[in-house]
């Protein structure tokens, strides 16, 4: 049987009991495959790699080595949360690499979106490779591939893209959730005890804020974007929208306009709010936000974030716009 094809007889995982049965089955399989060897995992902090990490920690404990590469393009607090959950709470063997300077130095002055993506993807593989070489006795590479990844592509996930490792670092793959749909991954994540803000996390592109800090990334504009994005998330949370809206974020273009602050001319960037609903990300509609909420967000961002002097709401559905600005 093709191990990459979901059997027609496989029931959808909906209940906690079904998730428990799936977990028990995978624990046995992983233990049988891995034995006393070691497994490496790139832990981005997204839903899929997090669920794989929690599952493998349960199966093989410290034989799993998780590597979290902070490329400096994470949302506010996300790398800290990875450390808190996986190192402090789950007691995983976690290697944390703060590679912010490496990524931002490479990206300096680069404005073309595809070029930025290439640099981020390429640098990620190099950092991961360096960490992999420091580890002794790794035989397996775990990946958070899920079924839609297999259906849509060659099964190698863009943001876990460690498929570009050199020949001498080709490990056998372990992909415990490769036959699951996203909603099933979330049910399994909950059954594993992962917190809601991780299990129900919005999709986050592999290149992270790199696709939202438009044009050539500078540290000050990236900082402004991250802070504005954190305010947006906080206000959505307070308004009960955190888990209702499918994806929401801020993009900051490389454009300044004139404004006034404390009676003086103040040139700043605009923060663009994007808040969309979709089922498959192929098409998307706009969330109809209350004006009172938009005013509150505008007020907070323009007062609290250095460098931002306007807030805009993007009303463009997909198509014609894509979800990300890029
Ligand atoms: P677009 O902008 O094409 O985005 O409408 C559709 C969805 O895909 C997400 N996205 C990515 N996800 N790696 C990912 O895992 C990526 O490189 C990437 N680029 C975009 C985007 O956030 C949206 O949910």
> Following DSSP, what letter does each residue of 106-151 receive, concatenated?
HHTT---HHHHHHHHHHHHHHHHHHHHHHSSSEEEEE----HHHHH
192 C-beta closer than 6 A to ligand 1: no
Check whether 96 has a pLDDT greater than 60: yes
**Atom 7 in ligand 1: which residue has the minimum CA distance?**
281
With the CA atoms of 169, 175, 178 and 181 taken in that order, what torsion angle do they form, in degrees rounded to the nearest 10?
-110
Ligand 1 binding pocket mutation candidate from 124, 153, 203, 320 (most atoms within 8 A of CB): 203
Centre of ligand 1 from the C-alpha of residue 199, in Å: 18
Note whether 161 and 129 are within 8 A (CB).
no
Rama region for 207: left / alpha / beta (φ>0; ψ in -120 to 50; rest): alpha
Contacts by residues 75-81 (CB-CB < 8 Å, ≥ 24 positions apart): 75/204, 75/208, 75/209, 75/226, 75/229, 75/230, 75/233, 76/226, 76/227, 76/229, 76/230, 77/230, 78/45, 79/45, 81/45, 81/197, 81/198
State if pTM tops 0.75. Answer: yes
Distance of CA 65 to the CA centre of its chain: 19
The domain that holds 295 is classified in CATH as 3.30.300.10
Check whether 159 has a pLDDT greater than 50: no
**Atom 9 in ligand 1: which residue has the minimum CA distance?**
205
Examine the fold and report which residue of 178, 199, 220 is the final residue of a domain before the chain moves on: 199
Centre of ligand 1 from the C-alpha of residue 136, in Å: 35
212 C-beta closer than 6 A to ligand 1: no
322 C-beta closer than 6 A to ligand 1: yes
| Number of residues that this document lists for the chain | 326
Centre of ligand 1 from the C-alpha of residue 239, in Å: 25
Mean pLDDT of 114-130: 97
What was the pLDDT predicted at 154?
A: 59
Instruction: Answer yes or no: is 63 within a domain.
Output: yes
* Co-location of 239 and 263 in the same domain: yes
Examine the fold and report which residue of 143, 167, 199 is the final residue of a domain before the chain moves on: 199
The domain that holds 83 is classified in CATH as 3.40.50.620
* Co-location of 223 and 291 in the same domain: yes
Containing structural domain, residue 149:
16-199
Instruction: Answer yes or no: is 204 within a domain.
Output: no
Examine the fold and report which residue of 199, 233, 255 is the final residue of a domain before the chain moves on: 199
Centre of ligand 1 from the C-alpha of residue 5, in Å: 24
Q: Which numbered atom of ligand 1 lies nearest the CA of 202?
A: 24
Comparison of pLDDT for 278 and 166, the residue scoring more: 278
- Phi first, then psi: give them for residue 127, nearest 5 degrees: -65, -45
Centre of ligand 1 from the C-alpha of residue 160, in Å: 13
Mean pLDDT of 188-199: 96
Instruction: Answer yes or no: is 4 within a domain.
Output: no
Domains held by the chain: number: 2
């Amino acid at each position: 049987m093709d191990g990459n094809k979901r059997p027609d007889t496989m029931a959808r995982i909906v209940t906690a009991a079904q998730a428990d049965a799936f977990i028990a089955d995978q624990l046995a399989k992983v233990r049988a495959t891995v034995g006393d060897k070691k497994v490496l995992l790139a832990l981005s902090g997204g839903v899929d790699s997090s669920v794989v990490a929690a599952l493998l920690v349960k199966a093989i404990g410290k034989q799993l080595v998780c590597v979290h590469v902070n490329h400096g393009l994470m949302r506010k607090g996300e790398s800290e949360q990875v450390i808190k959950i996986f190192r402090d709470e789950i007691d995983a063997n976690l290697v944390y690499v703060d590679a912010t300077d490496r990524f931002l130095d490479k990206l300096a002055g680069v404005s073309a979106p595809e070029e930025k993506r290439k640099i981020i993807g390429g640098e990620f593989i190099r950092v991961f490779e360096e960490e992999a070489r420091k580890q002794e006795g790794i035989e397996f590479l775990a990946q958070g591939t899920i079924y839609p990844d297999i259906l849509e592509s060659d099964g190698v996930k863009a943001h876990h893209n460690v498929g570009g490792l050199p020949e001498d670092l080709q490990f056998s793959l372990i992909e415990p959730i490769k036959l699951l749909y996203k909603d099933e991954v979330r049910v399994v994540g909950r059954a594993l005890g992962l917190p809601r803000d991780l299990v129900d996390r919005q999709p986050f592109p592999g290149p992270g804020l790199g696709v939202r800090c438009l044009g050539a990334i500078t540290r000050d504009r990236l900082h402004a974007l991250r802070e504005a994005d954190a305010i947006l998330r906080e206000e959505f949370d307070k308004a009960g929208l955190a888990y209702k809206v499918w994806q929401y974020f801020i993009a900051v273009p490389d454009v300044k306009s004139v404004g006034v602050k404390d009676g003086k001319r103040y040139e700043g960037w605009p923060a663009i709010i994007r808040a969309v609903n979709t089922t498959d990300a192929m098409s998307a509609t706009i969330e109809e936000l209350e004006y009172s909420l938009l005013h509150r967000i505008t007020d907070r961002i323009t007062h609290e974030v250095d460098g931002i002097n306007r807030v805009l709401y993007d009303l463009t559905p997909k198509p014609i716009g894509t979800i990300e600005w890029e």
